[in-house]
Amino acid sequence: MRPNFFHHLHPPTIPAQQSRWRYTLGAGGTAVFLLLVLVVTGALEMFYYTPTPDQAALSVQVISYHVPLGGLVRNLHFWAAQLLMVVTMVHLARVVLTGAYGPPRRFNYLLGLGLFVLAILLNFTGYILRWDQGIHWALVVGTNLLKTIPLIGDTLYEILIGGSQPGPATLIRFYAWHIFGLSLGAVILTGWHVFRVRRDGGIAVPPPLLRRDEARITRYELVRREVLAMILTSAALITLAGFAPAPIDAPIREIAATTSDASAPWFVLWVQQMLKWGDPFLWGVLVPLLVLLVLALIPYILPQPHEGELGRWFPRSNRLARWVLTGIGALVLALTVLALLSGD
């Protein structure tokens, strides 16, 4: 068989243990595929979306209800974005719970964390682009949080919002960040992240001297597995898009009608719950940044996973890192559940 372009993106053969589903969960590769889906469906949406306060919500309605297959395109974009959040969380958890972040992969771990932050920012800016009543309070709260940062808060607010309150300049800025600034950053960082996987010697497995495993798979087999993952992901996306349409609401009118739903997007519900406790700078800015800092420091300050234990889940040597991640995950989950319960 003559290798085609996609085969050539892979090494001729790789150790079989680097590509077992039960080890990698296929999460990183699925995230790359979802990014591709987001770029394509996002590009299609750009043909109809109008980034002005008067037209934005109406143009979203036009895409959703009038353009042939427009609803499908928008729902696919929405669900690919939500799945990307889930898949990147799974990917991060896999890397920590298998201890795969140790040297020489510490830098790539940081690149991955940067991509996770970009995914959150892209999801939030995309949500705001709806510019309908459903996003109104998330926009007000999210941007007012910036103002609570000492010294630089006001300047940061003006730079991101383009005025002293959300308006036309804000929408065009969020649009520019969403479709260009953040997206370009995500594509470049993804390329770098994937390149570093190969540069660092592939997916983390033990050195051959410590635990020998001769089995290798060819790139044909690897591409076959990747295509299988893409087909399964596509099936999930199409099912979700068909049965659960992306949220939409009435346009924001001049007169601020009382909005029925004041809950934040699902991935920041835990922050919304903490904000009910008081000081917005502490709970809304410092604590989330602290969580990010702890995640970033895992490969640098916690005990290193032992080389001989790589390639398996839950190595004994990185027990502390696993507990830290589990603790953070449990807290975020508990706060999210609390927010969901109090919302009803």
Partner 1 sequence: MSEFERRDFLKFTTRALLAASGLFGLGALGRFLNFQTQSPPQTVFDLGLASEYAVGTRRVLPEIPALLIHNEDGFSALSLVCTHLGCTVEENTSGFVCPCHGSLYDDAGNSLRGPAGKPLRALTVETTADGQLRLLLN
Contact positions toward partner 1, by CB under 8 A? 137, 140-141, 144-145, 155, 158-159, 162-165, 167-169, 254-259, 262, 272, 275-280, 284, 342
In terms of CB distance, is 213 or 279 closer to partner 1? 279
Where is 326: in which H helix or E strand? Answer: helix 319-343
Smaller CB separation from partner 1, 200 or 261: 261
Q: Which residues contact 288 (CB under 8 A, 6 or more apart)?
A: 271
Task: Decide whether 19 or 133 has the Cβ nearer to partner 1.
Answer: 133
CB of 204 to partner 1, least distance (A): 30
CB of 144 to partner 1, least distance (A): 5
Shortest approach of partner 1 to residue 264 CB, angstroms?
A: 8
List Cα–Cα distances, 44 to 119, 236, 247, 298, in angstroms: 20, 20, 18, 39
Question: What is the DSSP track for 29-79?
Answer: HHHHHHHHHHHHHHHHHTTT---STTTHHHHHHHHHHTSTTHHHHHHHHHH
Residue closer to partner 1 (CB basis): 168 or 329: 168
Closest approach of Cβ 342 to partner 1, in Å? Answer: 8
Q: Which is nearer to partner 1, 4 or 164 (CB)?
A: 164
Complex with partner 1: residue 79 or 283, whichever CB lies closer: 283
**Shortest reach from residue 161's CB to partner 1, in Å:** 9
Q: Please, what is the minimum distance in Å from the beta carbon of residue 201 to partner 1?
A: 27
* Gyration radius of the chain's alpha carbons: 22
Name, in order, each residue with C-beta under 8 angstroms of 78's C-beta and a sequence gap of 6 or more.
241, 246, 247
> Residue 55 Cβ, how far from partner 1 at the closest point, in Å?
17
CB nearer to partner 1: pick between 14 and 161: 161
For partner 1, the closer of residues 181 and 308 by Cβ is 181
| C-alpha to C-alpha distance for 253 and 133, rounded to whole angstroms | 8
Sole residue written with tokens 């346009």: 251
Nearest distance in Å: CB 154, partner 1:
11
- The nearer residue to partner 1, 92 or 138, going by C-beta atoms, is 138
Q: What is the total residue count of the chain?
A: 344
Mark out the alpha helices in 163-264 (DSSP H runs): 168-176, 182-199, 219-243
Q: What is the DSSP string of 85-136?
A: HHHHHHHHHHHHHTTTTSTTSHHHHHHHHHHHHHHHHHHHHHHHTT-BGGGH
Long-range contacts of 242-245 (CB under 8 A, 24+ apart): 242/72, 242/75, 244/75, 244/79, 245/64, 245/71, 245/75
Neighbour-count burial of 314, counting CB atoms closer than 10 A to its CB (0-12 exposed, 13-18 middle, 19+ buried): exposed
Cα–Cα distance measured from residue 247 to residue 253, given in angstroms and rounded to the nearest whole number? 18
Residue 48 CB, nearest distance to partner 1 (Å)? Answer: 25
